[in-house]
């Protein structure tokens, strides 16, 4: 269990710096004169690259086989309420932290917001700080603070740099997530006060509450439901998904990449870290309902994606389907399934983030995302089509690419405990091939029409940017062992914790 795995405190506060570096960058960017555009961009780039470099260094130093939290930073914040600045990383959160650290500088370097660069970059860096804090927090109140901070920059990024219906999409995103978070806030406060009976003190410390508190059956279920509503909205889990297609479609390209890459994973990560870990008995009790909603999401997302005429909206609905697989793996409650789910969080972030990046490049060239208005692009831009094909195949789950490993582990790991849900979910794999291959055929095959004959080939900068995504896709697909070796020990500890609660 996590209690038996020793927490390792870092001599250098690497996790604190991962949060403060982009936050400091956001402050510096906001203070600079907007007329000094080069300094604004340089400041944003340096702070995001420094954050990414620290996350990679942390990955290198992370001990293989460690099940507990590493590089822990803990300081009292509001002592009378038991609130602390408590950060830690384990195998479950490690690669999401690294993905966040690497994805943001790629978005800042590779995507032009076209106007008001200063505000755009400041919001981006604040968003990075919030996401980092969410994945690293081991204090319930601190997690809630970062979870809510994320809403503000994403709201302004969609509303300020999005497309025609951006204000509607931004408002819908904000209201849905805020409504879910209200339930979680009540759940957090109630959890801390009710756990005081077992812990002896008022504390919001995640590990202390999870290991010492013993909630009554009914109480645990209500608290679990309060947390799960917030995370189900963030994932989003069917039927709370309706904000996602609008947010993705109207968001600027950078916003869509970050939303798909890391923001949605705050929901699936939260289900594991705060739902299953804090309330294992309630998670077992709610398992049939959550598995059913996950499978419905897989099938509904795939069918809805097949029906879309807008290429970006098609990719958005594909996210609903793919995230359903992660939730399926999470609540199958086996080591293999959860390990696959954690890996799929990262894989989906890479593959779908790259898909949104490519769709954004198509829009920049043709000023349309309507599939019917595209076609024949492969004839005039074969390298661009090649990149799109690799990313598309990884999203389908082709063996040898990253998407296959996570989905395979989820399905094979879920089969012993959720057999019939897996049988139905497998149909979603077939449907994913249908809607993505059909979309590729309509967009890239055939003879280009007059508007597509001048479709520009990929540029050197775009090629280098996409090569990073493709390298990650191929490496994780061919050699997933380094990821699995670091994820699995923490997952085993979580499963032992769940088994001990029965």
Summarised one tens digit per residue, pLDDT across range 228-241 is: 999 999 988 888 88
Q: Inform me whether the pLDDT recorded for 338 exceeds 90.
A: yes
Over range 248-255, report the average pLDDT: 87
Over range 447-465, report the average pLDDT: 86
Query: Could you give the 3-state DSSP secondary structure of residue 438?
Result: helix
Please tell me the distance from the alpha carbon of residue 214 to that of residue 279, in angstroms, as a whole number. Answer: 9
**Between the CA of residue 361 and those of 36, 121, 461, what are the distances in Å?**
27, 20, 12
Nearest residue to 18 via CA among 79, 96, 84, 82: 96
What is the value of pTM for the model shown?
A: 0.90
Over range 427-433, report the average pLDDT: 88
Confidence (pLDDT) at 34: 76
- For residue 437, give both structure tokens: 């291959």
Portion of the chain with pLDDT greater than 90, in percent: 53
* Cα dihedral across residues 202, 205, 206, 208: positive or negative: negative
Q: Inform me whether the pLDDT recorded for 499 exceeds 60.
A: yes
Residue 438: burial class (beta carbons within 10 Å; 0-12, 13-18, 19+): middle
Q: Inform me whether the pLDDT recorded for 17 exceeds 60.
A: yes
CA angle 147, 152, 253 (to 5 degrees): 100
pLDDT band at 7 (very low <50, low <70, confident <90, very high): low
CA angle 440, 442, 443 (to 5 degrees): 65
Confidence (pLDDT) at 379: 87
Q: How far is CA 463 from the centre of its chain?
A: 24
Least confident of 3-17, 41-55, 169-183, 294-308: 3-17
Q: How far is CA 81 from the centre of its chain?
A: 31
8 Å CB contact between 416 and 331 = no
- Decide which of 139 and 7 is more confident: 139
Q: Inform me whether the pLDDT recorded for 163 exceeds 90.
A: no
User: At which residue do the structure tokens 């849900």 appear?
Assistant: 421
Nearest residue to 366 via CA among 449, 308, 445, 447: 449
Please tell me the distance from the alpha carbon of residue 192 to that of residue 205, in angstroms, as a whole number. Answer: 8
Q: Where are the alpha helices (DSSP H) in 162-201?
A: 166-199
Q: What is the pLDDT of residues 172-211, one digit of tens each?
A: 999 999 998 999 999 999 999 988 887 778 889 898 898 8
When the pLDDT of each residue in the chain is averaged and rounded to a whole number, the result is 89
- Decide which of 450 and 307 is more confident: 307
DSSP notation for 247-283 = HHHHS-HHHHHHIIIIITHHHHHHIIIIIITT-HHHH
- For residue 190, give both structure tokens: 């109630």
Confidence (pLDDT) at 8: 56
Q: What is the pLDDT of residues 63-108, one digit of tens each?
A: 888 888 889 888 888 888 889 999 999 999 999 999 999 999 999 9
Q: Tell me if the bond preceding 239 is cis, omega within 30° of 0.
A: yes
pLDDT band at 33 (very low <50, low <70, confident <90, very high): confident
Q: How far is CA 198 from the centre of its chain?
A: 34
Q: What is the pLDDT of residues 43-54, one digit of tens each?
A: 999 999 999 999
Q: Tell me if the bond preceding 242 is cis, omega within 30° of 0.
A: no
**Between the CA of residue 342 and those of 126, 143, 315, 487, what are the distances in Å?**
25, 19, 21, 8
- Rg of the chain (C-alpha set): 22
Confidence (pLDDT) at 446: 82
Confidence (pLDDT) at 142: 94
Q: What is the pLDDT of residues 119-136, one digit of tens each?
A: 899 999 999 999 999 999
pLDDT band at 457 (very low <50, low <70, confident <90, very high): confident
- For residue 465, give both structure tokens: 């940017």
């Amino acid at each position: 269990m996590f209690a038996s795995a020793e927490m390792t405190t870092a001599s250098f506060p690497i996790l604190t710096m991962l949060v403060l570096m982009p936050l400091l960058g956001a402050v510096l960017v906001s203070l600079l004169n907007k007329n000094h555009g080069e300094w604004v961009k340089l400041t944003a780039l340096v702070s995001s690259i420094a954050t990414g470099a620290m996350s990679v260094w942390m990955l290198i130093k992370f001990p293989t086989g460690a099940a507990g939290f590493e590089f822990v930073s803990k300081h009292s914040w509001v002592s009378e309420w038991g609130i602390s600045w408590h950060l830690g990383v384990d195998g479950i959160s490690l690669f999401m932290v690294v993905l966040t650290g690497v994805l943001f500088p790629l978005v800042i370097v590779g995507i032009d917001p076209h106007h008001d660069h200063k505000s755009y970059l400041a919001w981006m860096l604040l968003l990075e700080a919030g996401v980092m804090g969410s994945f690293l927090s081991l204090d319930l109140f601190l997690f809630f603070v970062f979870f809510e901070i994320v809403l503000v920059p994403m709201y302004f990024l969609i509303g300020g740099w999005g497309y025609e219906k951006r204000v509607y999409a931004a408002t819908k995103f904000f209201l849905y997530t805020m409504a879910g978070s209200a339930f979680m806030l009540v759940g957090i406060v109630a959890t801390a006060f009710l756990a005081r009976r077992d812990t002896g003190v008022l504390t919001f410390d995640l590990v202390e509450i999870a290991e010492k508190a013993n909630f009554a059956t009914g109480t645990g279920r209500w608290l679990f439901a309060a947390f799960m509503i917030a995370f189900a909205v963030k994932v989003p889990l069917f039927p709370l998904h309706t904000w996602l297609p609008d947010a993705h479609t109207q968001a600027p390209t950078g916003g869509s990449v970050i939303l798909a890459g890391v923001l949605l994973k705050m929901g699936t990560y939260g289900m594991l870290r705060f739902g299953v870990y804090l309330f294992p008995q309630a998670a077992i009790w709610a398992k049939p309902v959550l598995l059913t909603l996950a499978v419905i999401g897989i099938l509904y997302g795939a069918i809805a994606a097949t029906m879309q005429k807008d290429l970006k909206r098609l990719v958005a609905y594909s996210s609903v389907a793919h995230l359903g697989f992660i939730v399926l793996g999470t609540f199958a409650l086996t080591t293999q399934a959860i390990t696959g789910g954690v890996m799929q969080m990262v894989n989906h972030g890479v593959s779908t983030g790259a898909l949104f990046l490519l769709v954004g490049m198509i829009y920049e060239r043709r000023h349309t995302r309507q599939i019917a208005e595209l076609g024949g692009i492969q004839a005039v831009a074969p390298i661009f089509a090649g990149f799109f094909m690799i990313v598309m195949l990884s999203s389908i789950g082709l063996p040898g690419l990253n998407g296959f490993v996570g989905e395979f582990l989820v399905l094979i790991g879920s089969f012993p405990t959720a057999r019939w849900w897996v049988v139905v979910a497998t149909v979603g794999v077939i449907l994913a091939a249908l809607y993505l291959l059909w979309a590729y055929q309509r967009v890239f095959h055939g003879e280009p029409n007059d508007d597509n004959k001048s479709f520009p080939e990929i540029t050197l900068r775009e090629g280098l940017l996409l090569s990073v995504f493709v390298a990650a896709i191929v490496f994780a697909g061919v050699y997933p062992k380094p990821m699995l070796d670091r994820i699995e020990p923490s997952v085993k500890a979580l499963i032992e914790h769940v088994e001990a609660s029965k």
